[in-house]
Structure 1
Amino acid sequence: MFLEHITVSIIHLNSASRISEMRCHMACCSLKMTKAHNNGRMAFEFGRHLNDFVFRLVLFCSVNLINIIIDFIDHLYSGFK
C-alpha cells in the first residue's frame, strides 16, 4: 500500500512536471510570438517614418531646386535688360 502510494505520487509529480513544462513552453512560444510581432510592428513604424522622411526630403529638395532654377532664370532675364 505504501509503495503504491509512492508510485502514484511519483506519477502525479511526473505528470505535473510535464504540465508545468508544457505551460512554460507555451508561455515561451507566446512570448517569442509577441516579441516577433512587436519587432515587426517596430520595423513597420520605422519604415513608415523613414518613408515619410524621404518624401519630405525629396519634396524639400525639389522645392529648393525649383527656387534655384527660378532665381537663375530671373538673374539671366535681368542681365538681358
Structure 2
Amino acid sequence: MPTEANIAVSKIAAYAESPDDYIRAGGKAYNAKATRYGNRAHQTIGKSPSKLVFLIGAGLFIAALIYFEVLPR
C-alpha cells in the first residue's frame, strides 16, 4: 500500500480526536453531524454578496456624485 507524501490537517485532527473511530472508518468521515455541518458551511461561503464588490460600487457611486457636482468637493 503506497503512502501519501502529504497528509491533510483535517485527517490529522480527526485522528487526534478519536483514533479508534478514525481507523474503524478507514480515514473517511465517521461523524455524520459534523459532516452535514461542514457541507452546509462550505455551501454558504459563496452565497452572500461580496463586501469588496459593495465597497467598489459605493466608491464609484460617490465618485459619480462628486463628478456631476451633486456633492460638493
Give the TM interval when normalised to the shorter protein: 0.3 to 0.5
Q: Which has the higher helix share?
A: 1
**Greater relative contact order structure (CA < 8 Å, 6+ sep):** 2
> Taking structure 2 as the reference length, what is the TM-score of the superposition?
0.38
Question: TM-score of the superposition, structure 1-length normalised?
Answer: 0.36
